[in-house]
Structures are given as structure tokens and as C-alpha cells.
């Protein structure tokens, strides 16, 4: 019996693995982020358009889930591929940003990382589109959020330099 486009156990396992990888990156990033929010991050000058702290958790949870589904859709079609290597690369840049910005308190270097992250996501979207247009579209909200996050990162850097 096929449920939600998942034909066999291997496809289910692939989805679970994709979710595990994405949420594993999220968990590692939170190790760098969460301890810094009440102290260092709270003391930073931030623009008026900074979202409230409570918004980041639900937003990133949603984005990581959608990212995992996008990667899984590509994997289902072509297995491990160049597109998924790009996806893994952008995940690494995503994780690095949390450590650079929060753990190491380096908003300037984090701004460089987030620009590279933005480019990696954009290239990943184009590579995913070659395999699954749905997977590509699923990454668009992530790119939009990272665009906003990049602007926020640069603003915080400039305001605290």
C-alpha cells in the first residue's frame, strides 16, 4: 500500500534519515546558539526590525523539516547526487554560521559565511530543479529567510562594530 507517495520501506527510511540529518544540524547549531541568547546576543544593538527571539525556533524547525523533504525528494529520484552534495555543503555553511556568529561572537565573519550560504542555497535550488521542481520550490522559503537573516546579520555587525 502506498501512503503519501512513499512506496516502500527504503523510502520511509530515506525520509527519516533526511529529517535526522537536518535536525541533527539544527541540534548542533543550537548548542552554539542557545547559551549565547540571554547574555551576549541580548546585549547587542539590533535594528528595530529584528524578530522576537521566540520566532526563531518555530521558523527554523519548519525550514529544517521542509529542507529535509526537499532533499528526500531528490534522493528518491536520483539517489545520492551532485545536488545532494550541494545540499550537504549548504547545511555545513548553515551550521558554521551558528558557531561563527553566536559561539565565537564574530558577526563580520558570520556575514561572509551567510553570503556563501545564500549562494549555496541558490545553486542547490537550481540543481534540485533539474531533478524535482517541487524540491526546488520547497527551498525557496529557506532562501528568503536566509536573505532576511543576512540583512539582519549585516545590520547587527555594523551597529556593534
Instruction: Give the Å distances, CA to CA, from 63 to 9, 87, 94, 106.
Output: 25, 14, 12, 24
The domains of the chain are located at 9-159
pLDDT tens per residue, range 57-93: 999 999 999 999 999 999 999 999 999 999 999 999 9
pLDDT tens per residue, range 113-151: 999 999 999 999 999 999 999 999 999 999 999 999 999
pTM for the model: 0.92
Specify the CATH number of the domain 9-159: 1.20.1260.100
- Between CA 111 and CA 134 the distance in angstroms is 29
Amino acid at each position: 500500500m502506498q501512503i503519501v507517495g512513499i512506496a516502500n520501506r527504503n523510502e520511509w527510511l530515506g525520509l527519516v534519515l533526511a529529517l535526522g540529518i537536518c535536525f541533527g544540524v539544527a541540534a548542533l547549531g543550537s548548542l552554539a546558539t542557545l547559551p549565547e541568547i540571554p547574555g551576549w546576543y541580548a546585549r547587542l544593538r539590533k535594528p528595530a526590525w529584528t524578530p522576537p527571539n521566540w520566532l526563531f525556533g518555530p521558523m527554523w524547525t519548519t525550514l529544517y523539516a521542509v529542507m529535509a523533504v526537499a532533499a528526500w525528494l531528490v534522493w528518491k529520484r536520483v539517489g545520492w547526487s551532485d545536488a545532494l552534495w550541494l545540499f550537504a555543503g549548504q547545511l555545513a555553511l548553515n551550521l558554521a554560521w551558528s558557531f561563527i556568529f553566536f559561539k565565537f561572537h564574530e558577526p563580520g565573519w558570520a556575514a561572509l559565511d551567510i553570503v556563501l550560504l545564500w549562494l549555496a542555497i541558490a545553486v542547490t535550488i537550481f540543481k534540485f530543479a533539474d531533478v524535482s521542481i517541487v524540491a526546488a520550490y520547497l527551498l525557496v522559503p529557506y532562501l528568503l529567510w536566509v536573505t532576511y537573516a543576512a540583512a539582519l546579520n549585516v545590520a547587527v555587525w555594523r551597529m556593534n562594530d
